């Protein structure tokens, strides 16, 4: 695969997990990302003086998973903590019942803080935009030892040269958008045990999270995630969707008062519709990883995908 530093493009949890394995194996590695901070779709914003998760809502871990000790370490150090195993189920008519599932973990400092923690000690270059990855491999015409694209397929497809063998593994049309809308009130106006709600058959909403509950500070903040069809109609002007989403949330939970503030975030490529069972793709020194691999799509899948690709690359490069 040649000599030189491995370049990981994308500082989400998958890219950072991949880079950690490479660095631990003594492989020179640099992570580059066009954003201002690590996190990817585990990112959020500071709103009304506190972090609010706008991407992934929580994380889970499968028993016996290699991700388990990573999460246990975060919990031990207070970066993450158990949140709930029970969510509500709602329809356009309101809350219907509750459902239980795996234990979900939340984070006092936002999910981004976990990616920042994983990135400590790595060579991470933020606000760098990569425009082309070609066989060789090269990154913007500069030869590298290997390159990893840790990002959704549509973004990887824009960077990869069509003749790159790994491009055959991409499915750019299989990703859906979503809008994440944070809503803040002066006081909590919903049940204390709401935690979150899966919403079915709704023209606007798909999921609703109690951000103060998952953060542990009790702040009167909800985050609503929209269905893909609604997001598609508002991709050009996402901010204009705020009032409609706020009205939908108020109707669902019976909240009479308008929110004191609203923030809309657009995720053009929020989630894959058909995540692959394979953990990653790797051809001629160019790798692909992320939550579109190691199905089903979730935070654990993204970490496992990056971790597995890092191990495969470390073995190949050594």
Give the model confidence (pLDDT) of 66-81 as tens digits. 999 999 999 999 999 9
Q: 141: left (phi > 0), else alpha (psi -120 to 50), else beta?
A: left
Mean pLDDT across the stretch 270-296? 96
Distance of alpha carbon 217 from the chain centroid: 22
Average pLDDT, integer, range 35-50:
95
Q: What is the dihedral of CA 200, 292, 58, 123, to 10 degrees?
A: -160
- Cα(163)–Cα(182) distance, rounded to whole angstroms? 42
Cα–Cα distance measured from residue 305 to residue 282, given in angstroms and rounded to the nearest whole number: 12
Q: Once rounded to an integer, what is the mean pLDDT over residues 161-185?
A: 95
Q: Is the peptide bond before 296 cis (omega within 30 degrees of 0)?
A: yes
Whole-angstrom distance between the N-terminal and C-terminal Cα of the chain?
10
**In the prediction, which pLDDT does 177 show?**
98
The secondary structure element, H or E, covering residue 150 is strand 146-150
Over residues 107-118, the mean pLDDT reads 97
**Is 155 exposed, middle or buried, given 0-12, 13-18 or 19+ CB atoms closer than 10 A?**
buried
Q: Residue 112: is its pLDDT beyond 50?
A: yes
Report the distance separating Cα 263 and Cα 270, nearest Å: 17
Q: What is the residue-averaged pLDDT of the chain? A: 96
Residue 1 has pLDDT above 50, yes or no: no
Q: What is the pLDDT of residues 114-141, one digit of tens each?
A: 999 999 999 999 999 999 999 999 999 9
DSSP string, 212-263: HHHHTS--SEEEEEE-HHHHHHTSSSGGGGHHHHHHHHHHHHT--SPPSEEE
Q: Count other C-beta atoms under 10 Å from residue 271's C-beta.
A: 20
212-248: per-residue pLDDT in tens?
Answer: 999 999 999 999 999 999 999 999 999 999 999 999 9
Place 318 in a pLDDT band, splitting at 50, 70 and 90: confident
Contact 147, 6 (CB under 8 A): yes
Q: Are strands 221-226 and 261-272 parallel, antiparallel or unpaired?
A: unpaired
pLDDT at residue 2 is higher than 50: no
Helix, strand or coil for residue 44? strand
| pLDDT tens for each residue of 193-218 | 999 999 999 999 999 999 999 999 99
Provide the b/e sequence for 48-71 (b: ≥16 CB within 10 Å). eebbbbbbbbbbbbeeeeebeebb
- Between helix 299-317 and helix 13-24 the angle, nearest 10°, is 30
Q: Edge to edge, what strands does the sheet with 123-125 contain?
A: 123-125, 29-32, 6-9, 146-150, 286-289, 281-283
CA-CA-CA-CA torsion sign (60, 63, 66, 72): positive
Is 250 a residue whose pLDDT tops 60?
A: yes
SS3 letters across 158-188: HHECCCCHHHHHCCHHHEEEEEEEEEECCCC
Q: Does residue 163 register a pLDDT over 90?
A: no
3-state secondary structure of 26: coil
pLDDT of residue 4: 83
Nearest to 291 by CA among 107, 89, 153, 167: 153
What pLDDT sits at residue 3? 52
Per the listing, tokens 């694209």 go with 149
**Domains, the chain:** 6-317 (3.50.50.60)
Task: Note the pLDDT of residue 84.
Answer: 98
């Amino acid at each position: 695969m040649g000599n030189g530093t491995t370049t990981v493009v994308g500082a989400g949890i998958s890219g950072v997990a991949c880079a950690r394995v490479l660095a631990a194996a003594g492989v020179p590695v640099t992570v580059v990302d066009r954003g201002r901070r690590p996190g990817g779709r585990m990112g959020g914003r500071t709103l009304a003086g506190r972090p609010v998760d706008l991407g992934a809502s929580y994380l889970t871990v499968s028993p016996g998973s290699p991700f388990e000790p990573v999460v246990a370490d975060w919990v031990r150090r207070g970066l993450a903590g158990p949140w709930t195993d029970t969510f509500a189920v709602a329809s356009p008519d309101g809350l219907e019942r509750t459902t239980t599932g795996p234990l979900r973990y939340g984070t006092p400092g936002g999910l981004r803080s976990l990616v920042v923690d994983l990135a400590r000690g790595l060579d991470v270059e933020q606000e760098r935009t990569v425009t082309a990855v070609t066989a060789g491999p090269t990154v913007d015409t500069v030869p590298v030892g290997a390159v990893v694209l840790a990002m959704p397929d549509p973004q990887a497809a824009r960077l990869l040269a069509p003749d790159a063998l790994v491009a055959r593994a991409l499915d750019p049309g299989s990703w859906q958008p979503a809008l994440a809308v944070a809503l803040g009130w002066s006081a909590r106006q919903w049940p204390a045990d709401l935690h979150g709600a899966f919403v079915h058959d709704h023209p606007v909403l798909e999921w609703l999270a109690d951000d103060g509950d998952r953060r542990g500070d009790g702040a009167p903040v909800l985050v609503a995630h929209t269905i893909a069809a609604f997001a598609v109609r508002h991709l050009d002007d996402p901010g204009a969707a705020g009032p409609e989403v706020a009205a939908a949330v108020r109707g669902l939970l019976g909240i009479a008062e308008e929110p004191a503030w609203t923030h809309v975030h657009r995720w053009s490529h929020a989630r894959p519709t058909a995540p692959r069972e394979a953990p990653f793709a790797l051809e001629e020194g160019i790798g692909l990883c992320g939550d579109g691999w190691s199905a089903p799509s979730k935070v654990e899948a993204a970490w496992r995908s990056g971790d597995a690709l890092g191990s495969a690359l470390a073995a190949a490069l050594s």
